[in-house]
Structure formats: C-alpha cells, structure tokens
Amino acid sequence: MRLSVVVIVVLVLGFLSPRAAAQNTTTISPRPAAQNTTTNWVHITQLRAGLVEDAMAVYTTEGLPVSVNPGGCPKTDAGYTTKPSDPGHKLFQTVLLSAYLNGKQVQIAVHGCWYSKPRIIGVFIKD
C-alpha cells in the first residue's frame, strides 16, 4: 500500500512540476530503462507476416545477426518480431509496412523476446 501511495505522489509531482514539464524528462517505468533498446536509423529490407498468429518479422539494413538484443534472445538470425498480445502491435505493423512501402527509415525499440527473437515495443519513422 505504501509503495502505491509513493508512486502516485511521484507521478503527480512529476507531472505538476514546471521544471519536469519544461524538460520533459519525467519517466516512470516498471522495468529498467537499459532493457529497452532502439536500433539505429535503418531501412526495412523484408517483412514476414502471419503463420498462425497476428505477428510480423522485420529484417533491416543492419543485417544479421540483429544488432539490438537486450533480452539475449536465442534467434539472432531471424530479425525482430511483433507480439500479438502487445497493445499497439497492429499500429507497429502498420507503421513498419508504411515505412517499407515508402522507403522511409525506422528505428525499432525492442524489449525481451517473442518467438525467441527480439520483441518490438515501438517504431519510429522518418524521411
């Protein structure tokens, strides 16, 4: 109970603090930030979708084995993957497909493993 109160107070103070708002640096996360890792800006070279579940494998110009694997996933020669039960996985897949079709660069944020591959938890796109 005490921990919940402390977390709520920290959240409220973090959002109300003008300094924190100005710097936009308040971060509360249930897991250490070091475990969330992002690729460099890369182009997508291949997408694989389906095979029973609503998941997508993503291969990039960084080549294989994948360069970002904070979870120590055993499959480093099969790209990154989305996890069907993750919130936003359909949005990630849409952004990835859009970037692939339009030749845009992406950064892929990964955390943990799914299908023994690094699991996609975020996608950023740019020209």
pLDDT tens track for 68-95: 999 999 999 999 999 999 999 999 999 9
The pLDDT confidence band at residue 35, using thresholds 50, 70 and 90, is low
In CATH, what number is assigned to the domain containing residue 54?
2.40.50.50
Shared domain for 41 and 80, answered yes or no, is: yes
Counting the structural domains of the chain, the total is 2
Check whether residue 76 and residue 121 sit in a common domain.
yes
Q: What are the Cα distances from residue 16, in Å, to 5, 12, 21, 23, 26?
A: 16, 6, 7, 12, 11
Whether 67 and 55 map to the same domain: the answer is: yes
Helix residue ranges per DSSP H, the chain: 2-16, 18-23, 89-102
pLDDT band at 52 (very low <50, low <70, confident <90, very high): confident
Whether residue 15 has pLDDT greater than 80: no
Across 103-114, average pLDDT: 96
Same-domain pairing of 16 and 54: no
pLDDT of residue 14: 39
Q: Which residue has the tokens 């740019």?
A: 126
Check residue 17 and give its pLDDT: 38
The whole domain housing 12 covers 1-30
